[in-house]
Amino acid sequence: MWFMNKIANPFVRLILRSPLHGMLSASVLLITYHGRKSGKEYTLPVQYVQDENHIYILPGYAEKKTWWRNLKNGLDVQVTLKGQTLSGYGILLKHEADAEEILKAFSLYLQRFPPSAKIHNVRIEANGRPNLEDIRTASTEIQMISMELEKGKKA
């Protein structure tokens, strides 16, 4: 984690804020939020999938990280997406109340990033799609963030 926090993340932030953002911005964005308790501003690079004006983030190794907990009850966020800084609202989806949205978002995520299927014990079918039952099982063990971007509203 030290390498990610001190070396990799600052480098990725630099790239995503530069004219070279196209190298990464199809799959990585910057999320900026304020800590619930500290009020401190944080900016992190995260992998994402997009479905119209919704962005979904699956925090990798969520059990080892705490940042996503700031979105538990919803929070205003900014994202730097494909070279633009946009405003939005992010919330940690709840397993019971948002089960169908988690299932949809997780399916999109696995279709976009097939190597992640192995990490989550999801088999890939002969047609290239993730196994639906495996997705249902794994979706109860993940944390998924949903962000709705404000149309046309730049930060």
Say if domain 2-154 classifies as CATH 3.40.50.720: no
DSSP track, 53-86 = TEEEE--TTGGG--GGGGGTT-EEEEEEETTEEE
Per-residue tokens: 31: 């999320």
Q: Which residue has the tokens 């494909």?
A: 82
Domain map (residue ranges) of the chain: 2-154
How many other C-beta atoms can be found within 10 angstroms of the C-beta atom of residue 9?
Answer: 16
- Per-residue pLDDT for the chain (155 aa), expressed as one digit of tens each? 677 666 888 899 999 999 999 999 999 999 999 998 899 999 999 999 999 879 999 998 888 888 999 999 999 999 999 999 999 999 999 999 999 999 999 999 999 999 999 999 999 899 888 899 999 999 999 999 999 998 655 54
12 touches 45 (CB < 8 A): yes
Query: Kind of pairing, strands 41-47 and 28-34?
Result: antiparallel
